[in-house]
Amino acid sequence: MSQLKSEKGNFLWRFSQKFQFASDKIIPESLVFCLILTFIVYLAALLFTGTGPVDLAMQWYNGMWTQLAFSMQMSLMVVVCAATAQSRQVTYAMNKLASYIKSPAMAMCILMIWGYVASFINWAFCTMSCFERNS
Protein backbone atom coordinates (compact mmCIF):
# COMPACT_ATOMS: atom_id res chain seq x y z
CA MET A 1 0.00 0.00 0.00
CA SER A 2 2.78 2.46 0.86
CA GLN A 3 4.50 1.67 -2.46
CA LEU A 4 1.31 2.52 -4.38
CA LYS A 5 0.93 5.78 -2.46
CA SER A 6 4.55 6.79 -3.10
CA GLU A 7 4.10 6.20 -6.84
CA LYS A 8 1.24 8.70 -6.90
CA GLY A 9 3.32 11.34 -5.13
CA ASN A 10 2.70 13.34 -2.01
CA PHE A 11 -0.26 15.63 -1.40
CA LEU A 12 1.40 18.79 -2.76
CA TRP A 13 2.47 17.04 -5.96
CA ARG A 14 -1.04 15.69 -6.59
CA PHE A 15 -2.53 19.11 -5.78
CA SER A 16 -0.14 20.83 -8.19
CA GLN A 17 -1.14 18.47 -11.00
CA LYS A 18 -4.59 20.09 -11.09
CA PHE A 19 -2.97 23.45 -11.78
CA GLN A 20 -0.64 21.88 -14.32
CA PHE A 21 -3.67 20.62 -16.23
CA ALA A 22 -5.21 24.10 -16.14
CA SER A 23 -1.99 25.65 -17.35
CA ASP A 24 -1.56 23.18 -20.20
CA LYS A 25 -5.13 22.74 -21.40
CA ILE A 26 -7.33 25.65 -20.31
CA ILE A 27 -5.24 28.85 -20.17
CA PRO A 28 -4.48 30.14 -23.68
CA GLU A 29 -1.07 31.06 -24.99
CA SER A 30 0.35 34.55 -24.47
CA LEU A 31 -0.23 35.37 -28.16
CA VAL A 32 -3.97 34.98 -27.60
CA PHE A 33 -3.82 37.47 -24.70
CA CYS A 34 -1.81 39.87 -26.88
CA LEU A 35 -4.33 39.68 -29.71
CA ILE A 36 -7.32 40.11 -27.39
CA LEU A 37 -5.73 43.13 -25.66
CA THR A 38 -4.82 44.64 -29.04
CA PHE A 39 -8.44 44.29 -30.15
CA ILE A 40 -9.74 45.82 -26.89
CA VAL A 41 -7.39 48.81 -27.18
CA TYR A 42 -8.33 49.24 -30.85
CA LEU A 43 -12.03 49.31 -29.96
CA ALA A 44 -11.44 51.71 -27.06
CA ALA A 45 -9.45 54.03 -29.35
CA LEU A 46 -12.27 53.92 -31.90
CA LEU A 47 -14.82 54.86 -29.26
CA PHE A 48 -12.90 57.51 -27.32
CA THR A 49 -10.59 59.26 -29.79
CA GLY A 50 -12.91 59.83 -32.74
CA THR A 51 -10.31 58.52 -35.16
CA GLY A 52 -11.55 56.46 -38.09
CA PRO A 53 -10.85 52.72 -38.31
CA VAL A 54 -8.47 52.97 -41.29
CA ASP A 55 -6.54 55.90 -39.77
CA LEU A 56 -6.25 54.05 -36.49
CA ALA A 57 -4.94 50.91 -38.23
CA MET A 58 -2.39 53.02 -40.14
CA GLN A 59 -1.24 54.70 -36.92
CA TRP A 60 -0.80 51.27 -35.32
CA TYR A 61 1.15 50.01 -38.34
CA ASN A 62 3.41 53.08 -38.51
CA GLY A 63 4.00 53.04 -34.74
CA MET A 64 5.05 49.40 -34.84
CA TRP A 65 8.13 50.25 -36.94
CA THR A 66 9.32 52.84 -34.43
CA GLN A 67 10.09 49.94 -32.08
CA LEU A 68 12.36 48.16 -34.57
CA ALA A 69 15.62 49.69 -33.32
CA PHE A 70 14.76 48.94 -29.69
CA SER A 71 13.79 45.33 -30.42
CA MET A 72 17.00 44.80 -32.39
CA GLN A 73 19.07 46.18 -29.48
CA MET A 74 17.30 43.89 -26.99
CA SER A 75 17.75 40.85 -29.26
CA LEU A 76 21.43 41.58 -29.81
CA MET A 77 21.96 42.15 -26.09
CA VAL A 78 20.39 38.81 -25.16
CA VAL A 79 22.40 36.92 -27.81
CA VAL A 80 25.72 38.55 -26.85
CA CYS A 81 25.10 38.06 -23.12
CA ALA A 82 24.15 34.40 -23.66
CA ALA A 83 27.37 33.84 -25.62
CA THR A 84 29.39 35.59 -22.92
CA ALA A 85 27.72 33.65 -20.12
CA GLN A 86 28.56 30.36 -21.87
CA SER A 87 32.17 31.31 -22.60
CA ARG A 88 35.09 29.32 -21.20
CA GLN A 89 36.10 32.07 -18.79
CA VAL A 90 32.67 32.46 -17.23
CA THR A 91 32.14 28.68 -17.11
CA TYR A 92 35.50 28.29 -15.35
CA ALA A 93 34.67 31.05 -12.85
CA MET A 94 31.25 29.54 -12.12
CA ASN A 95 32.67 26.02 -11.69
CA LYS A 96 35.41 27.32 -9.40
CA LEU A 97 32.82 29.23 -7.36
CA ALA A 98 30.56 26.16 -7.21
CA SER A 99 33.39 24.03 -5.83
CA TYR A 100 33.36 26.11 -2.61
CA ILE A 101 29.64 25.60 -1.94
CA LYS A 102 28.93 23.12 0.84
CA SER A 103 25.26 23.74 1.78
CA PRO A 104 22.00 24.91 0.21
CA ALA A 105 22.07 28.13 2.28
CA MET A 106 25.56 28.90 1.04
CA ALA A 107 24.43 28.19 -2.54
CA MET A 108 21.56 30.67 -2.16
CA CYS A 109 23.87 33.34 -0.76
CA ILE A 110 26.40 32.85 -3.56
CA LEU A 111 23.63 32.95 -6.18
CA MET A 112 22.29 36.21 -4.75
CA ILE A 113 25.74 37.81 -4.61
CA TRP A 114 26.66 36.62 -8.12
CA GLY A 115 23.32 37.84 -9.47
CA TYR A 116 23.81 41.22 -7.86
CA VAL A 117 27.35 41.64 -9.23
CA ALA A 118 26.41 40.30 -12.70
CA SER A 119 23.42 42.63 -12.89
CA PHE A 120 25.82 45.58 -12.75
CA ILE A 121 27.28 44.30 -16.01
CA ASN A 122 23.88 43.82 -17.65
CA TRP A 123 20.49 42.39 -16.70
CA ALA A 124 20.65 39.87 -19.56
CA PHE A 125 24.12 38.72 -18.49
CA CYS A 126 22.83 38.26 -14.96
CA THR A 127 19.94 36.05 -16.05
CA MET A 128 22.02 34.06 -18.52
CA SER A 129 24.94 33.46 -16.17
CA CYS A 130 22.81 32.63 -13.14
CA PHE A 131 20.24 30.37 -14.71
CA GLU A 132 21.97 28.61 -17.61
CA ARG A 133 24.53 26.83 -15.50
CA ASN A 134 22.63 23.52 -15.29
CA SER A 135 25.03 21.64 -17.56
Of the pLDDT bands very low, low, confident and very high (cuts 50, 70, 90), residue 135 is: very low
Got the DSSP string for 14-49? HHHHHHHHIIIIISPPHHHHHHHHHHHHHHHHHHHH
Out of 3-7, 60-64, 75-79, which region has the weakest mean confidence (pLDDT)?
3-7
Domain definitions of the chain by residue range: 1-50, 68-135
pLDDT in tens, 81-104: 888 878 898 888 888 888 888 998
pLDDT band at 42 (very low <50, low <70, confident <90, very high): very high
pTM for the full predicted model: 0.48
**Nearest to 98, CA basis, from 108, 107, 90:** 107
